[in-house]
Chains A and B, each alone.
Chain A
Amino acid sequence: MGNRLSSKLLGEGKGGIQGMSEIYTRMIIDLYRNPLNYGEIEKPDIKAKDTNPICGDIIEIQIKLNKDIIKDVKFNGKGCAISMASASLLTEMIKGKSIDESLKMDKNDILDALGIKMSLVRLKCALLPLRTLKMGIYSYLGKSDKV
C-alpha cells in the first residue's frame, strides 16, 4: 500500500492523480473557477433550464437574438467542473452563430472543445449544456411558428 501511494505521489503511476490532469486540465479547472458568460440577460428571447437527475446539477441558458443570430448568451446554475467548463465553451462557440448552426452542434464539438476523453457517466455532465441549449432553441422555434 505504502509503495502504491509513494509511487503515485512521485508521479510514476499510470492513472491515478497524475493521470487526473488528463481530465482535469488547467483549462477545465480555470473555467470552473472563472466561468465565461456566467450570469443573466435582461429580457432574453430564449430561456431554457435543465437538470441532470443523477447528480442534481442544474443549468439555465439565456439567449438574446438579433433575427436568427445569437447576439448574446449567458448561462447560470450549479454543476461539476466538467459541466461548468462545457457551458463556458459552448456559450463562447455559439455567440454570433445562427440558431440553425447552433442546432447542428453535437457531442464531438463539445468533446473537441474540452479536449478530453471521459466515461459515459461523465459524458452526461459534459453534454448537459448542449442539451439545454437545444431544448431552448426548439421550444423557441415551436412558439414562433418557425418549424
Chain B
Amino acid sequence: MRKVPRKPIDVEKIRKDFPIFNQKIKGMPYIYLDNAATSQRPNQVIKAMNDYYQMYNATIHRALYELGEKATDAYEESREKVAKFINASPEEVIFVRNTTEAINLVAYSWGRSNIKEGDKILLTVMEHHSNIIPWQLLAKEKKAHLEFIDIYDNGLLKMDEFEKFIGEGIRFMSLVHVSNVLGTVNPVKKMVDYAHKNGVLVLIDAAQSAPHMPVDVHDIGCDFLAFSGHKMLGPTGIGVLYGKRELLENMGPFLGGGDMIKEVHLREASWNEIPWKFEAGTPNIAGAIGLGAAVDYLNNIGMENVKEHEKELTKYALDKMMRIKGINIYGTKNVELRGGVISFNLGDMHPHDLASILDNEGISIRAGHHCAQPLMDRLGVVGTARASFYIYNTEWEIDYLVNSLEKVREVFKV
C-alpha cells in the first residue's frame, strides 16, 4: 500500500472526475448515497477500459502478437496493483466476477475437499446472503453444520460467543469485515489470531472494507479475503479473491476450461500454476484493467484519507440524523467502530415508502433487507432504509437528506 500524506480530501476536485455528477436527475443535482451497493466510476477508470477496447483489444496469455502482449501486460499489471493494494503477492490474487464468486470459489474448491460430515462452519448473523448461501450449499452436501455468532443490540459481535464456538471445535470461519447494514467494523485481526491459535482457517468478506479503509492481508492474517471492484470505483463484473499461497497450491480448480490447464489429454489434465489455475476461460480483461485504474485512483487519494473522510461524514450524519424525531438508527453510534453505512427507520414508515419519497427529491438511498434477511429477523424489522457514503459525498448532501427526512416525517405524520 502506498503511503500518502494524511490530509483532508478535495471533494470538489474529486467530483469533477465523475461524469455522473455532471448531469441533473429530475432537474436536480444528483445525490448518490447508495455506495454500499455500488460506487460511481471516475473518468480515469472509464478511459482505461476504453483504451483497451479501442487501442489494444486482444485476448491475453495466448496471443502471439504485439497487442496481445500489451493486453497481457496490462491485465497482469492490474493484478500487481491489486496485490500491492492489499499487501499480497500477485500469485495470491485471483480475478473473479465479484465477492460472491470469490466466496463460492472457496466453498467449492477448498470446502469440498476439506469439509467432512459433522464439521462445523462458523458465520455471524450479520452476514450478507453471499456469505451464507455458499456455506449452506456446502453444509447440505457434506452433512456439515453451520453456527452463527449473535450480535448485541448495538450491532457489535458477541465476542464471548465467538470464543465459545471456537473452543467447541470449528473447522472453518467466514465473516464480514464491515457489515453492509450496521456498518459494524469487526475486530478481524484479533478474531483471526484467536481462530488460528485453535487451528481454524478464516475467510474475510471485505466487500465493504477494501473500498473504504486500508486493508492489509498480512496484518489481518486471514487465509482468504474477498472483495468486488464495482464498490471501489472499478467496473462491475470484476472482483478479487486473495488466498494464502500454501492453501491455493493445494486446492483443486473451481471452473474448468481454457487457460486454467497445463496439459490436456482426452481423459485427464493437469492444472496451470496459481493464480491462473482458478481463472478458466477468457477473463474480464477490460474489467481487470479498469480495477487497476481504480486502485491507482484510490492510492492517489490515500486509503487513510478515504477512511478519515468517511468517518467525518458518518459522525456528521449520525449527529444530525439522531435529532430527527421518530428515527431509529441501527448499529453502534461510535464512529471508531463503524464504517460509512447508516441504516435507519422512520416511525412506522415502511423503508420503501421512505426511499420512494427521497428518490423524488433526487436522493438515491437503498431500502429493503440489503441481502441480509437473517439480520433483519434478528433486528425484528422487515427492512431498513440505508444511506452509505464515499469519497465524493459532502456535508451539504447530508444536510439535504436530513431536511428531506424532516419533510417526509411531516407528510407521513410520523
Whether the Cβ atoms of A24 and B357 lie closer than 8 Å is: yes
Asked if A57 CB lies within 8 Å of chain B CBs, one says yes
For B158, what are the chain A residues with a Cβ–Cβ distance below 8 Å? Answer: none
Q: Are A24 and B412 in contact (CB under 8 A)?
A: yes
Digit string of B75-89 for contact with A (CB within 8 Å is 1, else 0)? 000000000000000
A54 in contact with B368 (CB, 8 Å) = yes
Does A55 contact B368, Cβ atoms closer than 8 Å? yes
The answer to whether B356 touches A56, judged by C-beta atoms less than 8 angstroms apart, is no
Segment 1-44 of A: residues with Cβ below 8 Å from B: 1, 4-5, 8-9, 14-17, 19-21, 23-24, 29, 32-33
User: CA of A57 to CA of B361 in the docked complex: distance in angstroms?
Assistant: 24
- Shortest C-beta distance, B73 to chain A (Å), equals 43
Does A24 contact B400, Cβ atoms closer than 8 Å? Answer: no
Once bound together, how far apart are the Cα atoms of A79 and B373, in whole Å? 15
Report if A29-B403 is in contact (Cβ < 8 Å); known contacts: A14-B27, A24-B357, A80-B350: no
Known: A15-B361, A17-B411. 9 other contacts (CB 8 A): A4-B29, A5-B400, A15-B26, A24-B353, A54-B368, A55-B368, A57-B350, A79-B350, A80-B351
Contacting pair B360 A16 (CB below 8 A): yes
**Are B403 and A4 neighbours in the complex by a CB distance under 8 Å?**
no
CA–CA, A81 and B352, complex, Å: 9
Give CA–CA (A24, B409) in the complex, Å: 12
Shortest B394–chain A CB gap in Å is 9
Write the residues of chain B forming the contact surface with A, with a CB cutoff of 8 angstroms.
26-29, 348-353, 356-357, 360-362, 367-369, 373, 376, 382-383, 396, 399-400, 403-404, 407-408, 411-413
Interchain CA distance A143-B382 in the complex, whole Å: 32
Residues of chain A within 8 A of B352, CB atoms compared: 55, 57, 80, 82, 122, 125
Give the residues in chain A near B367, CB-CB below 8 Å. 55
Q: Does B353 lie within 8 Å of A56, measured CB to CB?
A: no
Instruction: Return chain B residues, CB-CB under 8 Å to A56.
Output: 368-369, 373, 376, 382-383
A78 within 8 A of B: yes
Closest A residue by C-beta to B407: A17
Residues of chain A at interface, number, CB under 8 A: 28
Q: Which residues of B contact A8 (CB under 8 A)?
A: 361, 407
Q: Are B360 and A15 in contact (CB under 8 A)?
A: yes
Q: What are the nearest 3 A-B pairs in CB distance? A: A80-B350, A80-B352, A17-B407
B348 / chain A contacts, CB cutoff of 8 Å: 33
Encode contact with B along A72-114: 1 for CB under 8 Å, 0 otherwise: 0000001111100000000000000000000000000000000
* Bound-state Cα–Cα, A43 to B407, Å: 44
* Interchain Cβ contacts under 8 Å between A and B, 14 examples: A1-B396, A5-B399, A16-B362, A17-B408, A23-B356, A24-B353, A24-B357, A54-B368, A55-B367, A55-B368, A56-B383, A80-B353, A82-B353, A122-B356
CA distance A61 to B412 in the complex (A): 26
Docked pose: A79 CA to B382 CA in angstroms: 8
When chains A and B are docked, how far (Å) is the Cα of A122 from the Cα of B396? 29
User: In the complex the two chains form, is B353's CB within 8 Å of A57's CB?
Assistant: no
Among B348, B382, B403: residue with most chain A CB under 10 A: B382
Chain A residue nearest in CB terms to B373: A56
B24 smallest CB distance to A (angstroms): 10
How far apart are the CA atoms of A141 and B264 in the complex, in Å? 58
Measured in the bound complex, the distance between the Cα atoms of B407 and A145 in whole Å is 53
A81 CA to B356 CA, complexed, in Å: 11
Report if A5-B413 is in contact (Cβ < 8 Å); known contacts: A55-B352, A56-B382, A78-B382.
no
Contacts of A54 in B (CB 8 A): 368
Q: Given that A5-B400, A125-B352 are contacting pairs, would A17 and B369 also be in contact in the complex, using a CB cutoff of 8 Å? A: no
Do B412 and A29 touch (CB < 8 A)?
Answer: yes
- Tell me if A81 and B407 are in contact (CB < 8 A): no
